């Protein structure tokens, strides 16, 4: 996890512009570099480093003797860089996994480069010999990327939008700052003036398609067919492989643990593999919640079963409410459920950074979207419609859960790893017949749970624990987190303001005092940028007025059974 920033064709003094690069300093607390591009005095790179691999040669932009005309700034981890080296005979000059991007590009161009990377990434690649700039982002947008391109060819690129919104330019920034689409790369021509012109934007991978890099995966061809035992075995093999490849790190590994199925499975497989490769420190697991909240109690049970070094962060209401503005500033969104869930994750990340030496943090994001874990999937009209909704959610992850997971951890200089969003694992799961993937017997994620039932990785009561929204599980059953927030905000927003909300905020107008309160804070920091959120996250097929699972009829807590 790092912070990348680059400008091409700046009319303003670069030493002034680089102040914007400091807005993302939290993403790389270990080192910072600002570098001009030879021959282009108005082009530059900025890089904030979190040193996870190659402590000596990991600074960026990466340049190697073999390709002196290539400049690379990237944020991410490329898990198959050693396999690619073996397959193509690349001669690496550093231990940095991202160096493979230079070699792949030199060998086969940008299309092959983006398609062959097994990992999470956002990168800016400059080829001064051919006068080209390339931007690319991984399939699910696990690593963030924003850009602004003006009519006269000034380009700004950054890991977070906050590093672009205050850039100076001779003409107004008429082109808006916008997220770069996941699963795409863009080709731009670099003019002698340093300005750029977009040539094409190409989608190189869809979540349903088996990725091209399967040819150099450590797990070879899997048994075909959809009989249940084969499917369950393949799910276990691919998920374990997804966790194994993400163990690549020179810094201590930890794991978020809510006590729900997803984070518990990640933690259990992670601990098993750490023992296999003789990592000689205990796995630190982290849970947050109010005293005796469902998440804390369940996480405690899982940690005891696994034997992890478990840390509990006790959340108090005042601390959570005080964090709202910092959270919205970090997130760059005003989505209701994203903000609710981010407060706990932001505070547990703050604890990890201050109180422990874990830096690489595993988490369970992506499972709900992939394996149909949301409560409202019980109401899907058909397996086919459920499958379509699953794909829609995966495509929009970069606006919601993946955004939350990245920003709340990056705000405290941590690197997040999300094995459920492994390209090969997700494409296999989505290739299964729709009727296999739907909730069964009133239980969501039925197939995933069934696949691990005989593995002895988790206690049965955890493996089959019903879904809890992260923002609700951190509080008691009697009073949900969203209710606590609403009670506080009710005193902060006048009824009259809410009545006029649609006039003040015509795009995505707030319908509740809570959403109005969040929108006000968002506009304070990112005025006029409401289009970053195309729509609010809400459940489908139910008449929901609130995104919390606890408001749905299907929901019942295990403590009420």
CATH number at residue 182: 3.60.20.10
CA angle 112, 116, 118 (to 5 degrees): 155
One domain for residues 179 and 231: no
One domain for residues 186 and 300: no
Asked if 497 contacts 510 with a C-beta cutoff of 8 angstroms, the reply is no
Q: Which one, of 398, 337, 335, lies nearest residue 366 by Cα?
A: 398
Residue 522 lies in a domain: no
Q: What span, in angstroms and rounded, lies between the C-alpha atoms of 347 and 314?
A: 10
Residue 18 lies in a domain: yes
Q: Which of 454, 474, 491 is the last residue of a domain?
A: 491
Does residue 473 surpass a pLDDT of 70? no
Lowest average pLDDT, out of 32-46, 85-99, 271-285, 388-402, goes to 32-46
Q: Which one, of 261, 304, 257, lies nearest residue 455 by Cα?
A: 261
Q: Which of 491, 511, 527 is the last residue of a domain?
A: 491
One domain for residues 310 and 188: no
DSSP string covering 497-533: HHHTHHHH--SS---SHHHHHHHHHHHHHSTT-GGGS
Lowest average pLDDT, out of 62-66, 288-292, 498-502, goes to 288-292
Residue 215 lies in a domain: no
One domain for residues 170 and 239: no
SS3 of 297-348:
HHHHHHHHHHCCEEEEEECCHHHHHHCHHHHHHHHCCCCHHHHHHHHHHHHH
Asked if 126 contacts 200 with a C-beta cutoff of 8 angstroms, the reply is no
Does residue 195 surpass a pLDDT of 80? yes
Helix (H) or strand (E) holding 31: strand 31-37
One domain for residues 187 and 301: no
Residues 421-453: tens digit of each pLDDT? 999 999 999 999 999 999 999 999 999 999 999
Which domain CATH number covers 250?
3.40.50.620
Residue 253 lies in a domain: yes
One domain for residues 197 and 241: no
Q: What span, in angstroms and rounded, lies between the C-alpha atoms of 120 and 139?
A: 8
- Sequence ranges of the binding site for ATP: 256, 288, 363-364
For residues 221 and 527, the model is more confident at 527
As a whole-number percent, the residues of the chain with pLDDT over 90 amount to: 78
**Residue 246, C-beta contacts closer than 8 angstroms, at least 6 positions apart:** 77, 79, 362, 417, 419
Tokens of 495: 């009824």
pLDDT band, residue 515 (cuts 50/70/90):
very high
User: Domain range spanning residue 130?
Assistant: 3-203
One domain for residues 150 and 290: no
Q: Which of 433, 465, 491 is the last residue of a domain?
A: 491
pLDDT of res. 80: 96
Q: Total domain count for the chain?
A: 2
Asked if 162 contacts 184 with a C-beta cutoff of 8 angstroms, the reply is no
One domain for residues 232 and 167: no
- Sequence ranges of the binding site for L-glutamine: 97
Residue 247 lies in a domain: yes
Is 2 a residue of the active site? yes
**Residue 302, C-beta contacts closer than 8 angstroms, at least 6 positions apart:** 257, 259, 264, 267, 268, 285, 458, 459, 462
One domain for residues 255 and 335: yes
Residues 212-222: tens digit of each pLDDT? 999 888 887 89
Residue 496 lies in a domain: no
Residue 12 lies in a domain: yes
One domain for residues 182 and 272: no
Q: What span, in angstroms and rounded, lies between the C-alpha atoms of 508 and 501?
A: 10
Classify residue 149 by burial, with Cβ atoms within 10 Å: 0-12, 13-18, 19+. Answer: buried
- Sequence ranges of the binding site: 97, 256, 288, 363-364
Lowest average pLDDT, out of 272-286, 304-318, 453-467, goes to 453-467
Q: Which one, of 445, 475, 548, lies nearest residue 235 by Cα?
A: 445
CA angle 186, 213, 67 (to 5 degrees): 55
Q: How far is CA 51 from CA 59, 216, 352, in A?
A: 9, 26, 17
Residue 403 lies in a domain: yes
Q: How far is CA 486 from CA 36, 317, 481, in A?
A: 49, 12, 9
Does residue 556 surpass a pLDDT of 60? no
SS3 of 60-99:
CCEEECCEEEEEEEEEEEECCHHHHHHHHCCCCCCCCCCH
Q: What span, in angstroms and rounded, lies between the C-alpha atoms of 72 and 86?
A: 22
One domain for residues 233 and 184: no
Considering 2, 43, 44, 158, which one is annotated as catalytic?
2
One domain for residues 236 and 328: yes
Q: What span, in angstroms and rounded, lies between the C-alpha atoms of 412 and 401?
A: 17
Classify residue 507 by burial, with Cβ atoms within 10 Å: 0-12, 13-18, 19+. Answer: exposed
Tokens of 373: 């874990």
Q: What span, in angstroms and rounded, lies between the C-alpha atoms of 7 and 190?
A: 12
């Amino acid at each position: 996890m790092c912070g990348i920033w680059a400008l091409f064709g700046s009319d303003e003094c670069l030493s002034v512009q680089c102040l914007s690069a400091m807005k993302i300093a939290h993403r790389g607390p270990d080192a910072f570099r600002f570098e001009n591009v030879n021959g282009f005095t108005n082009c530059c790179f900025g890089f904030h480093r979190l040193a996870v691999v190659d402590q000596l040669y990991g600074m960026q932009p990466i340049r190697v003797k073999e390709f002196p005309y290539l400049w690379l700034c990237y944020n991410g981890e490329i898990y198959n860089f050693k396999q690619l080296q073996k397959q193509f005979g690349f001669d690496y000059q550093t231990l940095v996994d991202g160096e493979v991007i230079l070699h792949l590009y030199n060998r086969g161009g940008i299309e092959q480069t983006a398609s062959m990377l097994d990992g999470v990434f956002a990168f800016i690649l400059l080829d001064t010999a051919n006068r080209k700039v390339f931007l690319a982002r991984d399939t699910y947008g696990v690593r963030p990327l924003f850009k602004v391109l003006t009519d006269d060819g000034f380009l700004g690129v950054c890991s977070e939008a906050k590093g672009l919104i205050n850039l100076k330019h001779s003409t107004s920034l008429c082109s808006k700052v916008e997220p770069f689409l996941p699963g795409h790369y863009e080709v731009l021509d670099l003019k002698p003036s340093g300005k750029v012109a977009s040539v094409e934007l190409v989608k190189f991978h869809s979540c349903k398609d088996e990725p091209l890099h399967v040819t150099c995966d450590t797990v070879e061809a899997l048994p075909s067919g959809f009989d249940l035992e084969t499917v369950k075995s393949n799910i276990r093999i691919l998920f374990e492989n997804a966790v194994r490849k993400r163990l690549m790190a020179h810094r201590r590994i930890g794991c978020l643990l809510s006590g729900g199925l997803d984070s518990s499975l990640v933690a259990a497989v992670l601990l098993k593999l750490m023992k296999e490769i003789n990592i000689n420190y205990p796995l630190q697991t982290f849970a947050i919640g109010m005293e005796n909240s469902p998440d804390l109690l369940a996480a405690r049970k899982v940690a005891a079963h696994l034997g992890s070094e478990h840390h509990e962060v006790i959340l108090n209401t005042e601390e959570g409410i005080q964090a709202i503005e910092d959270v919205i500033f970090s997130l760059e969104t005003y989505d209701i459920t994203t903000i609710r869930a981010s407060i706990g994750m932001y505070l547990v990340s703050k604890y990890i950074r201050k109180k422990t030496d874990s830096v690489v943090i595993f988490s369970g994001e992506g499972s709900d979207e992939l394996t149909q874990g949301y409560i409202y999937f019980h109401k899907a009209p058909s397996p086919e419609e459920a499958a379509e909704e699953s794909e829609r959610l995966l495509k929009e992850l970069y606006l919601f859960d993946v955004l939350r997971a990245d920003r709340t951890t990056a705000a405290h200089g941590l690197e997040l790893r999300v094995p459920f969003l492994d390209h090969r694992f997700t494409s296999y799961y989505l290739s299964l017949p729709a009727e296999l993937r739907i909730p069964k017997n009133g239980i969501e994620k039925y197939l995933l749970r069934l696949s691990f039932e005989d593995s002895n990785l988790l206690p049965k009561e955890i493996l089959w624990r019903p879904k809890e929204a992260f923002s609700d599980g951190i509080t008691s059953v009697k009073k949900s987190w969203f209710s606590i927030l609403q009670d506080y905000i009710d005193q902060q927003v006048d009824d009259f303001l809410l009545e006029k909300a649609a006039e003040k905020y015509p795009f995505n107008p707030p319908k509740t005092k809570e959403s109005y309160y969040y929108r006000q804070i968002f506009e304070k920091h990112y005025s006029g940028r409401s289009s970053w959120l195309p729509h609010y996250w809400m459940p489908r097929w139910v008449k929901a007025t609130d995104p919390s699972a606890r408001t749905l009829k299907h929901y019942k807590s295990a403590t009420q059974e």
